[in-house]
Structure 1
Amino acid sequence: MKRIEILVPDLPESVMDAIVVNWHKKPGDQVIRDEILVEIETDKVVLEIPAVDSGVLESIVKKEGAIVLSKELLGYIIANDKVEKTTNIKNIIPPKYNDDINLEKENDNTLTPAVRRLIAKHELNPSNIKGSGIKDRIIPDDVNKHIKDKKNKNILTEQKDNTNIKVSSSVSNRNEKSIPMTPLRRRIAERLLKAKNNAAILTTFNEVNMKPILDLRKQYGESFENRHGIRLGLMSFYVKATVEALKRYPEVNASINDLNIIYHNYFDISIAISTPRGLVTPVLRNVDLMSMAEIEKKIKEFSIKGRDGKLTIDELTGGNFTITNGGVFGSLMSTPIINPPQSGILGMHIIKDRAMVVDGVVKILPMMYLALSYDHRLIDGRESVSFLITIKNMLEDPARLLLDV
């Protein structure tokens, strides 16, 4: 028989570690090749680790809750080529028990030695165990199920006792609960704090008249959707305008590495997406070569994957600049925090009708605030303000995107 190691996959440099969140198998369980054995969670994504061969899960080295690194050992599989997908046999390797266990606590001759051994080991009462064997006899699976149910019940009781905190009689109907932060939430907190402490972050603002973009969408939205099979959203305009601004101000597309400035000659833009697990930033790569339809399709794909927890590490790694749109939640203005090692992040906000003076005349226009947070160690005020004004001009006159002016 061949002993196979279960290893953590290679994690990118930007991912420091992962946490074991769920084992789908127990030691002694049969496993089929490519069957999911364990899930580990990084600060960016949940990874499912499959069995590389069929056999039996021999042992688990890293239990649920353990912190693991790249290529770290999680457990062992004993390979067995005869394991078929149709089999449903569990506990091929019998557990090792102490021979000195007292088996005299239950003298019921209807119980097999294996069942009696389990009952004695866990000090159970056979009358409380429901049998599923012939003539309702108790089989090992019944005992294991009873132990598992009892354990789950105890855990729920303990959680209830810990989370429902009783207070004084005057507010006896109030309670609190404490739950641990997810690895993703912990990592977000660490990165935001690190960005705030290690970079000189400033934010500059401007406002944009969104009427030209909204009129363009109204005029061509239906034709765009019929031709490309995707709605014409606002994000593709934001992305295209940002790329043109990054081309003109390469410092915003650069990053600091120790005492060196790294200038990137490509345009990978991270798009902030809210998911049930927290905020993630998948990357649109070489976005300067993408059409608006391709941008819209990719953003929609990222949103669906983020909702379902299917984003890959490759899709979340890298990015030279970030765009976040708090306007979808109703944010009027914000000061976004940069995503290290990037040097800038653009915040978009809700579009509101406001009274504006245009050519000496007061008009009601759909206006939106722009916010650019940047690392002042690399980007000076002139570049940051000019960068934001370039985006403003591109959005207020979309023809500039076509003419590159």
Structure 2
Amino acid sequence: MPVTHSPWREWERATADEQPPYAVLDRAALQANAADLVRRAGGVPLRIASKSLRVRPVIEELLTMPGFAGVLAFTLPEALWLSQTCPDVVVGYPTADRAAIAALAQDERAAQAVTLMIDSTAQLDLVDAIVPPARRPPIRVCLELDAAWQGPAPLGRLGVARSPLRTPAQLRALAVAVQRRPGFTLAGVMAYEAQIAGVADRVPHRRAMNALVGWVKTRSREEIAERRACAVAAVREIADLEFVNGGGTGSIESTAADASITEIAAGSGLFAGHYFDDYQAFTPRPATGFALSVVRKPRPDCVTVLGGGWIASGPPGPDRLPRVVYPAGLRMLPRESAGEVQTPLTGSAARSLSIGDRVWLRHAKSGELSEHVNEFLVVDAGRVVDRHPTYRGEGKAFL
């Protein structure tokens, strides 16, 4: 859906004394997006996907809001760090970080707060090899079920390549293995339907593709709801699960409708990179953006800004690039695009820009913006009211 909020002029005025490059976090937009995620979840708790934020003060503030509970971290070192203030952190991906596993095993408080993700007994073997069960508190684990959809030819498998556990029987077998091994506690199950949550379905000028994506999402919702429910029921026969996690920002409604789910992971819809403008089901407000300086003017209708190559993860393409939003009427050069150290921009607006002027852009997807700045300037009611350090600003580079 089209963006209905255009805060760039307000951000420009509020940060007139700041030196680019810098990033803005709009407090009102963040709160509105958080409230909308909670509304869409319909009472199902939301676990904050930290990789989409990477700003500890924001994570901690969100955890005080009704509807949010716990963090889905992306690495174990990050989870250990966050667990100092958050008592419920699930690591969303398996870990092979020996030092972090040893630190977890030596800290009873952290062992009670942090849950590791597994999809194989080999991951249990690694933990035991680092610190034997007799020398550590029980380590909490979560089993991950593959939620990809096996579509008809020629579509084939649609989703992300994550867990090898696809059937209820496979998930139950690993649950049995965990229950039989000393030193581990089976706490939860996770199944992330990326082909529903992570694919835009209202992209401009792509009517046929949008229709195909919508069809895939409908079919995939039906399949994963049935398979996940069976898998969770199979595991619950042998373990008292604390949580069953699924979904993401793009699938909150359908994930919440699955009775086997107890919580939903969400994060990208909070800062709302421009990739999430093109979803059928919801319209987040742009809560973040960044300003770069004009440093060159190769010709009257072209300016060059310093930096700009802040690219999102996923298949390379225009939808992973930052989007120029202000002043209107600027576009990247196809043969250069967004560069690591400079980004040329052309268009009618370039004629009125001078050296030292600002150009505003939006990041595409989730956490890439926080990896390029040390802090966010928090803007509210037309002025800078706070400064929130990013992970980078706190000296943390987890991945």
TM-score by length of 1: 0.24
**Of the two structures, which has the highest relative contact order with CA contacts closer than 8 Å and spacing of 6 or more?**
2
TM score, norm. by length of structure 2: 0.24
